[in-house]
């Protein structure tokens, strides 16, 4: 595929997303906004799973924590300030990830998967069982964050289009930022750790610190997604932190194909679209969802994004490369 064609496709996707709020109905605009938020969420996990080789099964914790920060920072009859609450939420999510990472990164492989799950479950029970955030019934965010800076309001997130474009800008920033991070020397070290950690250790890299940094960054970015999700839907519940959400975001990453963030975006949108179509179709839509997941793993190793390459090279490659 030529570079110019690639650029053309990127621009086409961008044009579609930019034009969407003007042609799509309010509901579908919100749905695409949700897709964009989940794309941020999936990209943040891709930094761990695809780039660094760390399979976290508890990523929903950071998403949920940030959503709760927004809910707790929003006064009952007033909006929280965007420029204050967003950084705080992201920082808190990042710090929680740093703390959890400090412990979990001492384990490896399957143990890592399970310990990340254990910490996420703890966070889930803290919000579910204590009065901190309204308990199991959840908590409302009655007002969308206000973008006012010293009396001047550049945009109003109560307007669905403004919120949509704010989310889009965040998604693009996260995508761009993560791409650059991957190309940076830090990114190369992370990929080195993924491919062969002992070699990186032998070369003198303190791999633990790099992994910890990646874990915290991923947590903070998941926090961006969680914050936006809370703002978009105005409702936060402990279920945001449940292991099902952690499973769903892993599903998005794998469904799309890992390692370069575009796959995570495709996976997030495919996930949203599938849920939407199947649920509209039949009461037993989870059966279809499950069957598609099973089928995707068996017949689509590498995810959606590997499909064209597989079709092209089929004759020479076996099914389970």
Partner 1 sequence: MDFVSFLIQTLNAVQYGLLLFLVASGLTLIFGIMGVINLAHGSFYMIGAYLAFALVAQTGNLFTALLLGIPLAALLGALLEWALFRHLYKRNHLEQVLLTYGLILVFEELRSLALGDDVHGVAVPAIFSASIKLSDTLSYPVYRLVISAVCVLLAIGLYILIHRTRIGMMIRAGNHDRDMVEALGIDINRIYLVVFALGVTLAAFAGMIAAPVSSVFPGMGNQVLILSFVIVVIGGIGSVWGALVAALVIGFADTFGKVLVPDYAGLAVYLVMAAVLLWRPEGIFKS
Partner 2 sequence: MNSYSPKITSPGSIWTRTATVATALACAALLPLGNAQAQSGKIKIGLMLPYTGTYAALGNAVTNGFKLYVEESGGKLGGRDIEYFVVDDESDPAKATENTNKLVKRDQVDVLVGTVHSGVAMGMAKVARENNTLFVVPNAGADELTGPLCAPNIFRTSFSNWQSAYAMGPVVYEKRARKVVTLTWKYAAGKQMTDAFAEAFEKAGGKVVKEMTLPFPNVEFQPFLTEIAALKPDAVFVFFAGGGAAKFVKDYGAAGLRASIPLYAPGFLTDGTLEAMGDAGQGLLTTLHYADGLTNAKDQAFRAGYAKAYKAAPDVYAVQGYDAAQLLATGLSAVKGDVSKRAELVKAMEAARIDSPRGAFTLSKAHNPVQDIYLRKAEGKENKVVSVVSKALADPARGCKM
- Which residues sit at the interface with partner 1, rule CB under 8 A? 49, 55, 57, 103, 106-111, 113-115, 117-119, 121-122, 125-126, 128-130, 243, 247, 250-251, 254-255, 284, 286-287, 289-294, 296-298, 301, 320
Contacts of 123 (CB under 8 A, 6+ apart): 61, 64, 65, 96, 241
305 touches partner 2 by CB under 8 A: yes
Residue 284 or residue 316: which is nearer to partner 2 going by CB? 284
Give the one entry of partner 1, partner 2, none that residue 177 binds, where binding means its C-beta sits below a cut-off of 5 to 8 angstroms depending on kind: none
Residue 110 or residue 319: which is nearer to partner 2 going by CB? 110
Give the one entry of partner 2, partner 1, none that residue 122 binds, where binding means its C-beta sits below a cut-off of 5 to 8 angstroms depending on kind: partner 1
Encoded tokens for 84: 């204050």
Q: How far apart are CA 115 and CA 13, in angstroms?
A: 38
Encoded tokens for 142: 């009655």
**Residue at token pair 């926090």:** 223
Q: How far apart are CA 269 and CA 275, in angstroms?
A: 10
Least distance between partner 2 and beta carbon 245 (Å): 7
144 touches partner 2 by CB under 8 A: no
**Residue at token pair 């965007």:** 82
Tally helices (H) and strands (E) across the chain: 13, 2
Q: Residue 81, SS3?
A: strand
Give the one entry of partner 1, partner 2, none that residue 27 binds, where binding means its C-beta sits below a cut-off of 5 to 8 angstroms depending on kind: partner 2
Q: What part of residues 185-214 is at the interface with partner 2 (CB under 8 A)?
A: 194
Least distance between partner 2 and beta carbon 149 (Å): 26
Q: Residue 149, SS3?
A: strand
Helices 243-256, 60-73: crossing angle, 10 deg rounding: 120
Residue 94 or residue 303: which is nearer to partner 2 going by CB? 303
16 touches partner 2 by CB under 8 A: yes
Contacts of 276 (CB under 8 A, 6+ apart): 31
Least distance between partner 1 and beta carbon 135 (Å): 12
Q: How far apart are CA 154 and CA 156, in angstroms?
A: 7
Q: How far apart are CA 59 and CA 97, in angstroms?
A: 9
How many C-beta atoms surround the C-beta of residue 160 within 10 A? 15
10 touches partner 2 by CB under 8 A: yes
Contacts of 49 (CB under 8 A, 6+ apart): 55, 56, 250, 253, 258
Show the binding pattern over residues 213-252: x = contacts partner 2 (CB under 8 A), - = does not. --------------------xxx-xxxx-x-xx-------
Q: How far apart are CA 269 and CA 41, in angstroms?
A: 12
Give the one entry of partner 2, partner 1, none that residue 159 binds, where binding means its C-beta sits below a cut-off of 5 to 8 angstroms depending on kind: none
319 touches partner 2 by CB under 8 A: no
65 touches partner 2 by CB under 8 A: no
Give the one entry of partner 2, partner 1, none that residue 17 binds, where binding means its C-beta sits below a cut-off of 5 to 8 angstroms depending on kind: partner 2
Least distance between partner 1 and beta carbon 193 (Å): 16
Q: Between vectors from CA 257 to CA 52 and to CA 55, what angle results, nearest 5°? A: 35
Q: How far apart are CA 217 and CA 98, in angstroms?
A: 9
Give the one entry of partner 1, partner 2, none that residue 150 binds, where binding means its C-beta sits below a cut-off of 5 to 8 angstroms depending on kind: none
Residue 17 or residue 73: which is nearer to partner 2 going by CB? 17
- Please select the residue that binds partner 2; options are 38, 49, 170, 190, rule is CB under 8 A: 49
Q: Which stretch binds partner 2 (CB under 8 A): 16-24, 82-90, 96-104, 217-225?
A: 16-24
């Amino acid at each position: 595929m030529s570079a110019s064609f690639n650029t053309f496709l990127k621009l086409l996707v961008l044009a579609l997303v930019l034009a969407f709020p003007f042609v799509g109905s309010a509901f579908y605009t919100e749905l695409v906004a949700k897709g964009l938020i989940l794309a941020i969420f999936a990209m943040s996990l891709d930094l761990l799973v695809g780039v660094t080789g760390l399979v976290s099964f508890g990523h929903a914790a950071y998403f949920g924590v940030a959503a709760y920060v927004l809910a707790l920072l929003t006064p009952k009859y007033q909006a929280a300030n965007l420029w204050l609450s967003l950084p705080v939420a992201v920082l808190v999510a990042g710090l929680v990830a740093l703390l959890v990472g400090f412990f979990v990164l001492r384990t490896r492989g399957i143990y890592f998967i399970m310990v990340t799950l254990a910490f996420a479950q703890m966070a889930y029970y803290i919000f579910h069982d204590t009065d901190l955030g309204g308990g199991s019934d959840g908590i409302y965010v009655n007002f969308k964050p206000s973008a006012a800076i010293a009396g001047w309001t550049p945009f109003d997130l109560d307007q669905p289009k403004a919120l949509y474009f704010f989310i889009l800008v965040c998604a693009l920033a996260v995508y761009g930022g993560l791409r650059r991070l991957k190309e940076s020397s830090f990114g190369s070290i992370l990929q080195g750790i993924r491919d062969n950690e002992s070699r990186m250790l032998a070369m003198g890299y303190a791999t633990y610190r790099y992994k910890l940094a990646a874990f915290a960054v991923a947590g903070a970015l998941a926090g961006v997604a969680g914050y936006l999700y809370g703002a978009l839907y105005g409702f936060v519940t402990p279920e945001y932190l449940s292991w099902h959400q952690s499973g769903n975001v892993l599903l998005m990453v794998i469904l799309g194909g890992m390692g370069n963030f575009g796959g995570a975006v495709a996976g997030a949108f495919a996930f949203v679209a599938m849920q939407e179509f199947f649920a509209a179709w039949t009461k037993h839509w989870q059966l279809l969802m499950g069957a598609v997941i099973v089928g995707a793993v068996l017949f689509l190793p590498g995810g959606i994004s590997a499909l064209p390459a597989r079709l092209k090279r089929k004759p020479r490659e076996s099914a389970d490369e």
